[in-house]
């Protein structure tokens, strides 16, 4: 597959959730900012990425906005996910924080707005009310949640006037997310996976190494493919090295066998959760 064909496939491979069309592969920006982030995002967009994930808490929305402007890619062709921080959940602050995110992003709309954590602010009902008001105001096209357990997700779906199109959570081969995966499959929503490489742990795993070698792929490609090959999963990749971007995008020109999918799905182990702030996190499934 040529570079142009691969870029086109990245741009068009989406997951339909109601009226939302979420690009299956996104570029995560946690822990990056400034000119370095702008440069890597421009490279990612020019390599075919069309989904960028950011958050108010990352303090890099302005860099994302500047990178989109510099990339030459039309704003309508880019899907931007950002997240409201818990301190901004109260009704008195919610919409003002959305407006601030829009200014930083140099955009008059957000494609997908999430609440970042279920705890640490107001109740779920007020969080969902804020998300719905942002849609009603024409500032946000789609809404979702992040780091919700299955019961909280059910509550959010029940409370929301507009569809909850995703739950963004940690998901990698070592973390068993069977309960949440089953939940999103049953409720016409999606799971957006962050921390897919388990902070580098995947690169030392013998089973993943063997699967990668047998398929003629990198371990990162195998893990990303495993994620998006699941019916309702979107994968966020992340790199600070531009030379790795082409490899991370080459996940649409092959499929893993059922045997490989099942083998990776059996790698989960207890105590493998990486992101778990006690004052923000729910009781995990």
Residues of each annotated binding site for substrate: 116
Distance separating alpha carbons of residues 48 and 73, to the nearest angstrom: 10
128-141: b (≥16 Cβ within 10 Å) or e: bbbbbbbbeeebbb
Distance separating alpha carbons of residues 277 and 272, to the nearest angstrom: 14
What DSSP string describes 79-93?
EEEEEE-GGG-SHHH
Q: Which helix (H) or strand (E) holds 104?
A: helix 91-105
Residues 47, 249 contacting (CB under 8 angstroms): yes
Residues 84, 285 contacting (CB under 8 angstroms): no
Where is the binding site, in residues?
A: 116
58 catalytically annotated: yes
Check 58, 89, 171, 194 and give the catalytic one.
58
Phi, psi of 238, deg, nearest 5: -155, 130
Q: How many helices (H) and strands (E) does the chain have?
A: 11, 10
Residues 196, 225 contacting (CB under 8 angstroms): no
By three-state DSSP, how is residue 60 classified?
coil
Beta strands 79-84 and 51-53 are parallel
Give the CA count within 13 Å in the CB-facing half-sphere of 25.
Answer: 30
Residues annotated as catalytic are: 58
């Amino acid at each position: 597959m040529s570079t142009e064909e691969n870029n086109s496939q990245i741009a068009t491979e989406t997951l339909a959730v109601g009226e939302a069309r979420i690009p299956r592969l996104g570029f995560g920006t946690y822990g990056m900012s400034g000119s370095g982030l702008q440069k890597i995002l421009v490279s990612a967009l020019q390599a075919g990425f069309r989904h960028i994930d950011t958050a108010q808490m990352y303090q890099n929305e302005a860099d994302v906005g500047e990178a989109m402007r510099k990339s030459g890619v039309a704003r309508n062709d880019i899907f931007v996910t950002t997240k409201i921080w818990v301190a901004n959940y109260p009704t008195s602050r919610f919409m003002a924080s959305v407006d601030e995110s829009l200014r930083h992003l140099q955009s008059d709309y957000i494609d997908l707005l999430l609440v970042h954590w279920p705890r640490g602010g107001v109740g779920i009902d007020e969080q969902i009310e804020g998300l719905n008001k942002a849609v009603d105001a024409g500032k946000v096209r789609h809404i979702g949640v992040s780091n919700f357990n299955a019961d909280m997700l059910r509550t959010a779906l029940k409370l929301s006037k507009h569809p909850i199109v995703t739950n963004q959570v940690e998901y990698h081969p070592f973390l068993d997310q069977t309960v949440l995966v089953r939940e999103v499959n049953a409720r016409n929503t999606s799971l957006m996976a962050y921390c897919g490489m388990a902070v580098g742990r995947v690169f030392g795993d013998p089973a993943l190494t063997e699967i990668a070698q047998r398929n003629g792929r990198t371990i990162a490609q195998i893990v990303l493919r495993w994620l998006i090959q699941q019916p309702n999963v979107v994968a966020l990749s992340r790199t600070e090295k531009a030379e790795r971007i082409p490899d991370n995008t080459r996940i649409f020109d092959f499929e893993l066998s059922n045997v490989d999918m099942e083998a990776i799905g059996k790698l989960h182990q207890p105590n493998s959760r990486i992101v778990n702030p006690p004052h923000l996190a729910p009781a995990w499934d």
